[in-house]
Every structure is written in C-alpha cells, then in structure tokens.
Structure 1
Amino acid sequence: MREPLPPDMFDEICPSGLAPIRFGDKWAPLVIACLEHGPRRFSELRVPLRRVTPKGLTKSLRGLERDGLVSRTSHPGTPPRVEYELTPLGRSLLEPMKVVCAWAGEHWEELLDAREAYDNRLREAR
C-alpha cells in the first residue's frame, strides 16, 4: 500500500508558483511531483491539489499524457479504476524541476519584489 499524499504537500505560498519556468501548464509541475513515488488515482491527486478544479486537473493530466510525460491505465472492475503514472520521459523531468524549485526558493524575495514592483507600475499607469 502506498503512503497517502499529504493534504499540505503544496503550501499556498510555494516557491513552485514563483518559478518563471513552466513545465507544461500551471498545475503540471505539481501533478508531476505528486506522481514521483508511483501511480495515483485522480481522487488521490485531488488531496494535495485541492486548489485545482477537477476540470483543471483533468486538463493537466490530459496535457501531460499527450506530451508523453504521464500514462493513464484503466483497470477493469466496478467501478473501473484509473491510475496515472509518470513515464520514463516524465521521470526525467524530476531532477530539472527540483533545480528550478531550489532556484526559486533561493531567489524568493527577489521574485516577490520584482512582481510587486511590476504590479505597482501597472497600477500607477492606469
């Protein structure tokens, strides 16, 4: 039996949200991180990804599947059970993602300051 994903796996103020480099869509890196330790069902992914709507999570999973980063396996039964798992190509992203997250963590203050300055300039221009 796999360990359940912790509900607080992704803090609302998470460096991954600040990283200027995107791996797929907005939620894709978080989905990839959830799948790092093995296959997961949609309902398991929803626990730490509670800020993502079911429609948004489905869109991310389909995009990752389309790009060859995630595989979807449907197991027969009543009800049918579907699991998502990283492919070897998807696993190859784990290390670069960790490097980007570490970089964002190191530059957290600079990134926040830059975003705040940009937003202030936009407000002043109006």
Structure 2
Amino acid sequence: MPHRSSVPMSWRLKNSRYTLTGTKCSCGKLYMPPRAMCECGKDKLVPVTFGGKGTIVSYTEIHIAPAGFERQVPYNIALVKLDEGPVISGVVVDKNIKIGDHVRSIFRRLQVDGEGGLISYGFKFELEK
C-alpha cells in the first residue's frame, strides 16, 4: 500500500518547512519547530525566521527508509545546530559529511506520494562551499 501524506498536516507545517520559521519567547528561548508555550511557562511566543545556516552535531546514513522515501536511499539525516541556537534535523544532500561541517538550508522536493499524489517541498541542507 503506497504512503499518502496528510494534506491538512502539510498545510499546517508549511511555514516551518518553507521558511524555517520558529518561535521566540520573551525570556530569549528559541524554538524550531514552533511551539505555543515556552518551558518557562509563558505562552506569548512570537514568530522568528532563522537564517538556515548551522553546524552538523550528529548524523546517520539511512539505508532502509520509511514508506515514501525508499527511492532516496542511501541518504544522510543530520542534527544541525542552527547559528541562532536551536537544533533541528534534516536531510543533507551531500554524501561525504562529518560532525562539525557547516551547512546551509536549501529548498527541495521532499517526497512524492505516487502518481497524482501530494508533492511535499521543504528544506534540506547542503555543505557550505
């Protein structure tokens, strides 16, 4: 059975997927993906757009992919500490990566749900040249 993405979920996540938009609390804590409440207890967080540059702090190479990503193997998933502070996960399009490499976000197709299905776009990372 083919994997199908949720159109409503894709719509709700479009800001964080398309523009790396997170949230910031008045206490200074930054979140990506966005949150409605800070760990300090405040609930008046404001949107903030991150620059998309960061450093790889960990990674793994995927050889057995979840449904919908089988055609992309092998690929690298990394934890990237953004220059602004939050740590997020994402695909790194380059093959030879290592911890400490500097990356930048790029806009790419993430997956296709078969013929006539939803095409999801969002950010991936590439090594900074």
Please indicate the TM-score interval, normalised by the length of the shorter structure.
Answer: under 0.3
Q: Calculate the TM-score normalised by the size of structure 1.
A: 0.22
- Which structure has the highest strand share of the two? 2
- Which structure has the highest helix share of the two? 1
Q: Calculate the TM-score normalised by the size of structure 2.
A: 0.22
Higher relative contact order, structure no. (Cα contacts within 8 Å, ≥ 6 residues apart)? 1
